Structure 1
Amino acid sequence: MPPRRVITGRSQEPRKRFAEELRKLRQERRISLRKLGDVVGWDASLFSKMEQGETIGGPEVVQALDTFYGTQSMLLVLWELAAGDQTQFRAKYRKYFALEAEAVSIWHHTAGVVPGLLQTKAYASTLMESGIHQGDELTRQVKLRLGRQERLTGADTLGFRSILSESVLRRPLMDPAQWREQLEHLLTMADRRNVTIQVVPHSGGMYALSSTDVMFLRLTDGRVVAWVETSYSGTLVEDTADVDRLQLRYDRARDLALSPADSRKFIMSTLEEAQCETST
């Protein structure tokens, strides 16, 4: 059987193709994300994340977009393919989870969201339900994520360093009380002897990891592996040379970050701003 010919030049990856189609349709209509949100009835930030591939949204959102764009069920079909691709995405995670359980220390950088090991239940639930998880599956996935946090708080704790882009702290939850809870949780975790949290402020400018999430795991045999995650996929990096190159980028990001003490002050300032906004 001859190989499939690529005619459109569009991505063949389900999640990426779905995001591309969403951007294409909106741009053809010459409508802003804010206007789309007003017309269709969902927050503009959700459509932004869908177009960037950070989430695929739920079927009811996609059906509403099909109706708005007059695309019949095309977007829903693409959504189903993207949702099915999640099983492959989860399979990639299995080896990573096994290595994480073996790790004696972890250091991490995140560009957009609070890392799973530092999330509150409300934050994890909000993040997951904006994707494809609903009902019992959502409950199960949140429970699994929170269970992983025992590596930081249980009897056999590991060392954990997380470098957060300031963008993480400028993207609040819609519920002010839940957002304050998440910020307070970051401060509580930062007080633990085995946890270090640092913030790279926007004033540091662009840097090599400014759009990349990466996790380094130091294993019991002394090896270091890395997990690099984009908005729609993840890759386990085990080659020593590749890990070293990522480590160099991480070290440069750490050089730009505030000290742990100043990072704590920064998070406290963000919390105070959130409290003031609620009281006004």
Structure 2
Amino acid sequence: MPPRRVVTGRSQEPRQRFAEELRQLRAGSGASLRQLGDRLGWDWSLFGKMEKGETLGGPEVVQALDQHYGTSGMLLVLWELARGDKTQFKERYRRYMTLEAEAVSLWHFAVSVLPGLLQTRGYAAELLAAGGFTGDGLTQQVEARLGRQELLEGEGAPPFRTILSEAALRTALRDSQAWREQLEYVAEVAEWSNVTVHVLPFSAGLHGLNSTDLWFLRLPDARTVAYTENAYGGELIEEHGPVEQLQRVYDAVRDLALSPAESRKFVLRMLEEVPCDPST
């Protein structure tokens, strides 16, 4: 039997594959989103969100699309696979990780959690455990996260700038010694020549990134991409317009933050508030 040929250029992630099929079928039909909505009797914006992977829609919508395109239940099968998939964001995250490894410089903003590139083992373990990881799975995730930190080390390491909201620095670990080690590490890394740390104090007030963890990656081809994330997933943004808009917001937030020198003093003052382990 000849070897099975791999179909290239198509996503293997169920949710993304479902969205791709919807886009290709509509493009092949020559209909606009508005025309599709008029023909099937649903708001056209729903189909737009389905084609972007932002929502899956309900089974009755998918059945109507199957009938409209004459796909004999194929879309409903893909919809069921996508609905049952619990890793819908993994593909975009894998692509982000690939780009991160290639980046010539990185910028970041933290809402409430310190970035993985600055986390100690104790911090990463408690954070990932809170997210549901246990046993060997937890160990593997911690090691993977710590392994990423090699990106900032050694000759040729890219410059990294992070703005840490005060909330990220006030959300302490249960283990006071582990929390002390984490703050000490932030203060240490802030002195590295390729790392710049800003603290955004509560006194800065409301700003454009109040609910968004944000990364910018400057790539070797001079492009900049952005990645926004929350506890349940993330979005990789590569279009120039949205990335530029986010950069303007980021710059405005940086203007509100403390200088690198004042930021390191801020972290050191926080260290004074953490009780010492009496056994050390």
Please give the TM-score of this superposition, normalised by the length of structure 1.
Answer: 0.68
Q: Which residue of 2 aligns with 1:234?
A: 234
Q: Counterpart of 1:267? A: 267
2:92 counterpart of 1:99: no
Provide the C-alpha distance between the structure 2 equivalents of 1:273 and 1:167, rounded to a whole number of angstroms. 15
CA shift in 2, pair 1:101/1:220, >3 Å: same
Q: State how 1:42-53 maps to structure 2 within 5 Å.
A: none
Letter in 1 for 2:106: I
Q: Distance between the aligned counterparts of 1:274 and 1:148, measured in 2? A: 28
What residue identity is the alignment partner of 1:116? G
Q: Distance in 1 between matches of 2:225 and 2:128?
A: 26
TM-superposed CA distance for 1:173, in Å, is: 0.1
Summarize deviations over 1:13-56 as a string: whole Å, max 9, x none: xxxxxxxxxxxxxxxxxxxxxxxxxxxxxxxxxxxxxxxxxxxx
1:222 aligns with 2:222: yes
2:181 counterpart of 1:191? no
Q: Which residue does the alignment assign to 1:141? A: 141
Distance 1:88 1:156 in 2: 34
Displaced runs of 4 or more, over 4 A: none
The answer as to 2:149 corresponding to 1:152 is no
3-state SS of 2:160 partner: strand
Q: Per-residue CA shift, 1:146-186, capped at 9, x if unaligned? A: 11100111333110000011001110000000000000000
Please state if 1:250 is matched with 2:240: no
Partner of 2:57: none
How far residue 275 of structure 1 moved from its aligned partner, in angstroms, is 3.1
Taking the TM superposition and a 5 Å limit, the aligned residue runs for 1:1-280 are 85-275=85-275
Change beyond 3 A, Cα 1:219–1:274? same
Report if aligned partners of 1:165, 1:210 keep a CA contact under 8 Å in 2. no
TM-aligned CA distance change 1:262 to 1:128, over 3 Å: same
CA distance in 1, matches of 2:85, 2:132: 11
Counterpart Cα distance in 2 of 1:235 and 1:87: 13
TM-score, reference length from structure 2 = 0.68
RMSD: 2.2
Deviation at 1:137, TM superposition (A): 1.2
Question: What CA distance in whole angstroms lies between the structure 1 residues aligned with 2:173 and 2:91?
Answer: 29
Q: For the pair shown, which has the larger CA radius of gyration, 1 or 2? A: 2
Q: Secondary structure at the match of 2:171?
A: coil
Q: 1:226 Cα shift?
A: 0.3
Instruction: Determine helix, strand or coil for the equivalent of 1:149.
Output: helix
Q: Is the 8 A contact 1:201 1:258 kept in 2?
A: yes
Identity %: 53
Q: Distance in 1 between matches of 2:233 and 2:146?
A: 21
* Aligned counterparts of 2:86 and 2:104: Cα–Cα separation in 1: 29
Tell me the residue number matched to 1:23: none
Counterpart of 2:89 in 1: which secondary structure? helix
SS in 1 for 2:172: coil
Residue identity in the other structure for 2:134: Q
CA distance in 1, matches of 2:114, 2:255: 20
Structure 1 window deviating more from structure 2 (215-224 vs 137-146): it is 137-146
- Counterpart Cα distance in 2 of 1:164 and 1:86: 30
Equivalent position SS for 1:88: coil
What per-residue deviation string (whole Å, max 9, x for no partner) do you get for residues 167-216 of structure 1? Answer: 01110000000000000000110010000000010001010102110000
**SS at structure 1 position matched to 2:207:** coil
Aligned length: 200
Separation in 1, partners of 2:86, 2:191: 36
User: Once the 2 structures are TM-superposed, how far is the Cα of residue 92 of structure 1 from its aligned partner?
Assistant: 2.1
Aligned residue type for 2:172:
P
Match of 1:29 in 2: none
Amino acid at match of 1:160: F
Report the Cα distance in structure 1 between the residues aligned to 2:148 and 2:188, rounded to whole angstroms. 17
Which structure 2 segments of 5+ residues have no match?
Answer: 1-39, 43-83
For 1:87 and 1:155, locate their aligned partners in 2 and report how far apart those are by CA, in whole Å.
35
